[in-house]
Structure 1
Amino acid sequence: MKAKVEYDVTDGVAVISISNPPVNALSDEVRQGLFDAFERADADDHVGAIVLSAKGRTFPAGADAREFGRPRAAPTLADVCARIEACQKPVLAAIHGHALGSGFELALACHYRIALQDATLGLPEVNLGVLPGGGGTQRLPRITGANAALDLMITGKPITAQRGGDLGLIDKVIQKNLDRAARLSAGNMIAQNSPPRPTCSRDDGLSNPGAYTQAVNSWRTRVKGNFVPSVRAIVDCVEAALLLPFDAGIALERKCFDDCETGDEATALRHAFFAERRTAKLAELEGATPRSISSIGIMGAGGMGADIATACLDAGLLVIIVDSDDDGLARGGQRIKDIYEKSVSKGRMGQAAAADRLSRLRGTTDVTSLSKVDLVIETMSEDAAVKHDVFAQLDKIMRPGAILATNTSHLDSDALAAATSRPQDVVGYHFFAPAHITKLIEVVVGDQTHRDVAATGFALAAMLGKVAVRAGASDGFIGNRVLAAYRQAADFMLEDGANPAQIDGAMRAYGFALGPYQVLDMTGLDTAWKRGKHYQATCDREERYVAIRDRMCDEGWLGQKTGRGFYVHGHALGPVENDDALGIIEDERRRKSIIPRPFTDDDIRARCLNAMANEGARLLDEGVASRPSDIDVVMMYGYGFPRFRGGPMMSADQRGLLAVRNALKSYQPDAPDFWTPSRLFDELIKNGRHFSDLNGG
């Protein structure tokens, strides 16, 4: 078996190379190999300088993900970094690809650093609810000072090698021939008798204690309300780099890392990390070959159609957008141009790149122009009859093997497939607004959808830089069904004694950016109103129905677009509660003879979260969702569920399934059908299992 760490000495230069594809993750075997190699090089009288490099496409891009949340075998990353830094011979890191997380901490422990110009550097541990654990919080600010170090670690965003050079992190940025340049630099160090330069002894970034302290205090204020403990711990550790001896700072970093790693937030963030990577691992897609996609048609030039077209143009595809009239087509085309002009003005894209994208856009009112495209996505209004007619028309026009996709948010894709002679080619690709930004696509697989068509959805998502989640054909699919349960639970509490601002505040305190009624005001109450009328027409007459939103829409209070909804908008200090809406709520209570009762914020959160978990369990039981973690991904990426909570199913696991089931039963007198626990709870509880046990590998 090939060694994961290779050792070679030529002309007095020891080259220690990591070889652990695909991303040279720092597994326990790699760490041991590095520790042994540096021991060997330091003791070798024939070695005058050491180069640390990596084979393949990247410098180490992080730790071994399989070790997250588990005890590490010795030597730890901190041990390896300390051993590198203690070398009595100069150590040069040769960086290419992505030096991220523990990989960048290795580089920081080296005495000097050289990098290719397209390399990136970063410490993104905060995204997993932890902080750098190999000395990064102590070494980084000794070079850059507090502000740059905190920015790098708290945002988790990588920087370019050039920016690293500006900050003093990279000693030399080169364009090519990294190995040759590294060996040459190491040879020059030997010739010039260059000494080691341990980062722990540097004080470049500590030279102005006043500015350093001011930066720490500023960041501490900025992150005061952050829900993730590791963010605040990073500030404490960076402060310690100035106030404590290096070894004491390292000890504090280790304690903070251990405390954060075992917390609920880090557990949830690790769950989110793995859940996203698991979505495409489906037995039904094994052996399926995605169909080739180079051209896409968009039916409908409205906001969603234009945004989907933009996402496809960004992916390098040819896009033909079709609308029924020239004015609609012009508005859609202008929306796309405005998106690119804004990107250029903000420096996110060059003028040439924007021009290239627009050169691949075609607009027409002639639907027959779609006859040769590989895939069409219709984005017409949520009207089954309209979409049925569109699919029947596309069926006659499009070439054999082309995919017919609907972007419906809740309609039955199987019914649309029945309008065609090729139901195997019909699928739902449910984008989320704004489609050129939001990272999620639900791939809605119908009864007759071919496996290759489903697989194409995942391939298309990858092309667009998005995450695809498989959903079965169902009213609302995964996301909108869970959202409806969330809103239903909130509406019941609204009738029973809570008010919109209290419910919104309770859910913001849990980590949502906006509460459910703030979101309704932002997106428009009329959209939910139409869905409510559909539900009212089809539901069991014995089921409890809350008509508060219907009455508000009857008054023309549709939210931000009309200036009034659950809140009155346009005030200088922001939205204020709509007293007239509160009047409707009180009137509905009187009409139903409901005596208002108080709800604590904990009551509100429990009911909303338990409703989401219960609907998720039903989706699993019905086969609409493939696994609990898929539901979590949909809710995090499409509906703003706080990532550090891991999604509604992960959150239910953390609260305990028995406690959730018992709470659901206790709510049943309020709405028996809605609050009846899914049978999946009893099945899991009986066998001592959790939702996470259904996720697979």
Structure 2
Amino acid sequence: MSDLIHYRLEDGLALIGLAHPPVNALGQPLRAAIIDACERAAADERVEAIILYGEHGMFSAGADITEFGTEASFAEPDLPSTLVRLTQIHKPLVAAIGKLALGGGMELALACGYRIGEPSTRVGLSEINLGLLPGAGGTQRLPRLIGAESALNLILSGQQIDAERARMLGILDRIATAAEQLLDEARAYANELIDYGAPARPTEAWPEPAEDLPGDFLARYRTEHEPRWKSRLAPRLVLSALEAACLLPLEEGLARELALFKQAEASRQSKALRHVFFAEREAGRIPGIGADIALRKVDKVAVIGAGTMGGGIAMNFANAGIPVALLELKGEALDNGLMQIRKNYEISVKRGKMTAEQLEQRMDLLFGTLDYNDLADADLVIEAVFEQMEIKQQVFRTLEKVCKPGAILATNTSSLDVDAIAATVSRPQDVIGLHFFSPANVMRLLEVVRGKATAPDVLATTMKIAKHIGKLPVLSGVCFGFIGNRMLEPYSREAHRLVLEGATPAQVDGVLTGLDLNMGIFSMLDLAGIDVSFLIRDSNRAAIAHDETYCRLGEELYALGRYGQKTGRGFYLYEGRNCKEDDEVVVLAERLADELEVPRRSIDDQEIHDRCMFMLINEGIQLLDEGIALRASDIDLVWINGYGFPAHLGGPMHYAEQLGLDKVLAGIEHYRHVLGEYGQMWFQPAQLLERLVAAGNTRIEII
């Protein structure tokens, strides 16, 4: 018997334990071991029922993702045929689901006739998050277990559901009293099945998965949801697979599902999403920072500034059960900040995402203060004051006096020089940048900015605590704007310039949202506040090369008091949440173009795409060459999670690789020549891009 399986016979029961830590990924070796063990049990006359469980607690988190897109994905025995064989065993097969049954792991459980979980068990079919659909029976067996509509919603959400919800839907037959009792109660359940002469598989709960649904249900579902799917392929393939479950016998439905799965697996979108999956794993690995490094204790946090950003940051820690001191200089501002935090939690209660008791527990973890001395025992202090160097430096001078030795001093800045802030204290090794994205209690991304003096244990501690509060930490070096906002500059610059040259804000935004970006650049600037972007750019003029046309349109709108959504006028006009084009912006662009002697012309969508995307990509490659970003994939994570770049394109660096680095370089060189002085000034290819193309490399990496 394989080392991947623990097999034993106990009183007529074959106990088959999956022993492939950490998550019992269902790669080819484990699949082979499972089928061998189950065949052995099926052939043994002493065995009356079989229990499949996780030897170390975990049932299975799914397929081995490293196999996708390779021959190993369907190496014999492949998962679909393995599970078909399990359904043919003539003895009751019980899945005892500890901790997780996700993706292929849930499909394994569905192939068993009976299922019992522990109270903390979570199950789900998460393949949609990788641009895939369940390919080992999930889209066919689940609808026959819980009905087509419930199955469709669960598969398309990709979400994990808890044990009680799974039991109510009919996925779990029972829930054990405790995790420690799971295997014992699975044994008892199996013995009950034997005593009652239960069949190897119970009768299907939904032999006709769509029997209670209108005949046009799937067609209407497609019409309703396709606008939200945009260009994503996987949701459409899921719907096709569910249609097969409703119309075809199981065997034919399984064949249809498998064909659809292979189509998804071969798609660029799935390749991009798998790239993102592995990028998230890699982002936490920092050269020179080993797993054995001693971390600093973070039992209490302080946040300076109770505004929108500071309050959101404080909520992250309270949500994780960590006490937070929230400091403001004026009582009214502190009261307003705490009141807004409570309102945010109350919204979560109304939506059923937390209980009233949990709200009070989290508010009890928040301590408001007007006195810096109350921060003396904080292990981590995060300032979230106005984005102005002098103000932040003054805050750090005060922290120098009141904070205990070894406290981590963090600045929440989106663009300022972390080293210049650290230079104001005598312990720069304790200083780090933490760029939370707004709203800070919602946005997953956290840019962790390492200063030149930041101590390794400060960096390691910060990366760990970021994950503890549910963030995706991505490391950046110090420069203007770090990774995200530095790349935003040339992207935004080209959008502004294109409008001067003859495009409209709506045309530019339409090209970008046509790529499935969440928002176009002008909509994003209106949402964030034109005043905010102007003040950031104005305070960093020394760090950004300028000519007189640089984002001039935005500066004119700022001068007019048109700050975007907050004032009802920006690049667009706003009536409540409704947005419409503003002819006055076009007139303003025409006037500015005339003053600046910028020729106006008709601009096609391809030029808009190339100029915005190629400059975004070029800046990212430059950041990698400078060592500001550790990896191209880190840049992708920043833009997917902080700026709405579509994950199914893999982020701007992965997108560049799909376009072809030679094409990106050729496009930059083209506009360098055809745009005159402007092109000569701005369309400078990153040297790393030139080196990569010259070497014939198709991947973005340091050479």
Normalised by the shorter chain, which TM-score bucket?
over 0.9
Equivalent residues in 2 for 1:160-179, closer than 5 Å:
160-176=162-178, 177-179=181-183
User: Matches of 1:209 and 1:401 in 2, distance apart?
Assistant: 65
Q: Say which of 191, 196, 202 aligns to 1:192.
A: 196
Residue number in structure 1 paired with 2:61 = 61
| Cα gap change, 1:539 to 1:122, in 2 (>3 Å) | closer
| CA positional deviation for 1:205 | 5.0
User: Matches of 2:354 and 2:394 in 1, distance apart?
Assistant: 39
Q: Say which of 679, 684, 688 aligns to 1:676.
A: 684
Residue number in structure 2 paired with 1:550 = 555
Residue number in structure 2 paired with 1:180 = 184
Residue number in structure 1 paired with 2:226 = 224
Which amino acid counterpart does residue 113 of structure 2 have in structure 1? Answer: H
Is 1:584 aligned to residue 592 of structure 2? Answer: no
| CA positional deviation for 1:467 | 0.9
User: Matches of 1:543 and 1:447 in 2, distance apart?
Assistant: 34
Residue number in structure 2 paired with 1:453 = 458
Which amino acid counterpart does residue 644 of structure 1 have in structure 2? Answer: H
Residue number in structure 1 paired with 2:267 = 263
Q: Normalising by the residue count of structure 1, what TM-score does the alignment of the two structures yield?
A: 0.96
| CA positional deviation for 1:379 | 0.9
Gaps of 5+ in 2: none
User: Matches of 1:485 and 1:290 in 2, distance apart?
Assistant: 38
| CA positional deviation for 1:245 | 2.2
Is 1:36 aligned to residue 36 of structure 2? Answer: yes
| CA positional deviation for 1:537 | 5.7
Please state whether the residue corresponding to 1:429 is helix, strand or coil.
strand
C-alpha distance after superposition, 1:85-115 (max 9, x if no partner): 0111121111121111000001111112122
Residue number in structure 2 paired with 1:120 = 122
Residue number in structure 1 paired with 2:310 = 305
| CA positional deviation for 1:353 | 1.8
Q: Say which of 376, 380, 383 aligns to 2:381.
A: 376
Please state whether the residue corresponding to 1:532 is helix, strand or coil.
helix
Q: Say which of 485, 505, 508 aligns to 2:510.
A: 505
Q: Say which of 426, 431, 438 aligns to 2:436.
A: 431
Please state whether the residue corresponding to 1:652 is helix, strand or coil.
helix
Kindly indicate whether the alpha-carbon contact (under 8 Å) linking 1:628 and 1:691 is maintained by their aligned counterparts in 2.
no
User: Matches of 1:653 and 1:694 in 2, distance apart?
Assistant: 14
Residue number in structure 2 paired with 1:662 = 666
| CA positional deviation for 1:615 | 0.5
Worse overlay, 666-675 or 204-213 = 204-213
Kindly indicate whether the alpha-carbon contact (under 8 Å) linking 2:148 and 2:210 is maintained by their aligned counterparts in 1.
no
User: Matches of 1:181 and 1:440 in 2, distance apart?
Assistant: 42
Which amino acid counterpart does residue 683 of structure 1 have in structure 2? Answer: R
Worse overlay, 314-323 or 28-37 = 314-323
| Cα gap change, 1:242 to 1:347, in 2 (>3 Å) | closer
User: Matches of 2:383 and 2:59 in 1, distance apart?
Assistant: 43
User: Matches of 1:460 and 1:675 in 2, distance apart?
Assistant: 40
| CA positional deviation for 1:360 | 1.9
Kindly indicate whether the alpha-carbon contact (under 8 Å) linking 2:387 and 2:536 is maintained by their aligned counterparts in 1.
no
| CA positional deviation for 1:486 | 1.4
Kindly indicate whether the alpha-carbon contact (under 8 Å) linking 1:19 and 1:55 is maintained by their aligned counterparts in 2.
yes
Which amino acid counterpart does residue 118 of structure 1 have in structure 2? Answer: S
Q: Normalising by the residue count of structure 2, what TM-score does the alignment of the two structures yield?
A: 0.95
User: Matches of 1:371 and 1:386 in 2, distance apart?
Assistant: 20
| CA positional deviation for 1:587 | 0.8
Which amino acid counterpart does residue 244 of structure 2 have in structure 1? Answer: A
Which amino acid counterpart does residue 36 of structure 2 have in structure 1? Answer: D
Which amino acid counterpart does residue 119 of structure 2 have in structure 1? Answer: Q
| Cα gap change, 1:186 to 1:542, in 2 (>3 Å) | closer
Is 1:648 aligned to residue 652 of structure 2? Answer: yes
Q: Say which of 365, 388, 409 aligns to 1:360.
A: 365
User: Matches of 2:188 and 2:280 in 1, distance apart?
Assistant: 42
C-alpha distance after superposition, 1:108-129 (max 9, x if no partner): 1111212223211110100000
User: Matches of 2:118 and 2:38 in 1, distance apart?
Assistant: 24
Is 1:149 aligned to residue 148 of structure 2? Answer: no
User: Matches of 2:594 and 2:52 in 1, distance apart?
Assistant: 75
| CA positional deviation for 1:571 | 6.2
Which amino acid counterpart does residue 40 of structure 2 have in structure 1? Answer: R
For these two proteins, the number of residue pairs brought into alignment is: 692
Which amino acid counterpart does residue 340 of structure 2 have in structure 1? Answer: R
Residue number in structure 1 paired with 2:520 = 515
Please state whether the residue corresponding to 2:57 is helix, strand or coil.
coil
C-alpha distance after superposition, 1:584-608 (max 9, x if no partner): 1111121123332223323222222
Worse overlay, 280-289 or 149-158 = 280-289
| Cα gap change, 1:275 to 1:540, in 2 (>3 Å) | closer
Residue number in structure 1 paired with 2:288 = 284
Kindly indicate whether the alpha-carbon contact (under 8 Å) linking 2:293 and 2:457 is maintained by their aligned counterparts in 1.
yes
Please state whether the residue corresponding to 1:631 is helix, strand or coil.
helix
In angstroms, what is the RMSD of aligned CA positions?
Answer: 1.9
| Cα gap change, 1:183 to 1:208, in 2 (>3 Å) | same
4+ residue runs over 4 A deviation:
535-544, 692-695
Kindly indicate whether the alpha-carbon contact (under 8 Å) linking 2:309 and 2:439 is maintained by their aligned counterparts in 1.
yes
| CA positional deviation for 1:189 | 2.2
Which amino acid counterpart does residue 309 of structure 1 have in structure 2? Answer: A
Kindly indicate whether the alpha-carbon contact (under 8 Å) linking 1:503 and 1:515 is maintained by their aligned counterparts in 2.
yes
Please state whether the residue corresponding to 1:411 is helix, strand or coil.
coil
Is 1:96 aligned to residue 104 of structure 2? Answer: no
User: Matches of 2:602 and 2:38 in 1, distance apart?
Assistant: 65
C-alpha distance after superposition, 1:601-655 (max 9, x if no partner): 2322222221111000111111111111111111111111111111100100110
Please state whether the residue corresponding to 1:202 is helix, strand or coil.
coil
Kindly indicate whether the alpha-carbon contact (under 8 Å) linking 1:298 and 1:309 is maintained by their aligned counterparts in 2.
yes
User: Matches of 1:238 and 1:624 in 2, distance apart?
Assistant: 46
User: Matches of 2:283 and 2:21 in 1, distance apart?
Assistant: 22
C-alpha distance after superposition, 1:159-191 (max 9, x if no partner): 222222222222222323121121122222223
Kindly indicate whether the alpha-carbon contact (under 8 Å) linking 1:223 and 1:231 is maintained by their aligned counterparts in 2.
no
Is 1:606 aligned to residue 607 of structure 2? Answer: no
User: Matches of 2:186 and 2:544 in 1, distance apart?
Assistant: 71
User: Matches of 2:11 and 2:542 in 1, distance apart?
Assistant: 83
Which amino acid counterpart does residue 9 of structure 2 have in structure 1? Answer: V
| CA positional deviation for 1:208 | 5.1
Residue number in structure 2 paired with 1:471 = 476
Gaps of 5+ in 1: none
Please state whether the residue corresponding to 1:637 is helix, strand or coil.
helix
User: Matches of 1:183 and 1:247 in 2, distance apart?
Assistant: 31
Which amino acid counterpart does residue 645 of structure 2 have in structure 1? Answer: F
Which amino acid counterpart does residue 86 of structure 1 have in structure 2? Answer: Q
Worse overlay, 352-361 or 307-316 = 352-361
Worse overlay, 352-361 or 635-644 = 352-361
Residue number in structure 2 paired with 1:111 = 113
| CA positional deviation for 1:300 | 1.3
Which amino acid counterpart does residue 55 of structure 2 have in structure 1? Answer: K
Which amino acid counterpart does residue 485 of structure 2 have in structure 1? Answer: N
Q: Say which of 524, 530, 534 aligns to 1:529.
A: 534
| CA positional deviation for 1:2 | 6.8
| CA positional deviation for 1:540 | 4.6
Please state whether the residue corresponding to 2:518 is helix, strand or coil.
coil
Which amino acid counterpart does residue 149 of structure 2 have in structure 1? Answer: N
User: Matches of 2:119 and 2:389 in 1, distance apart?
Assistant: 53
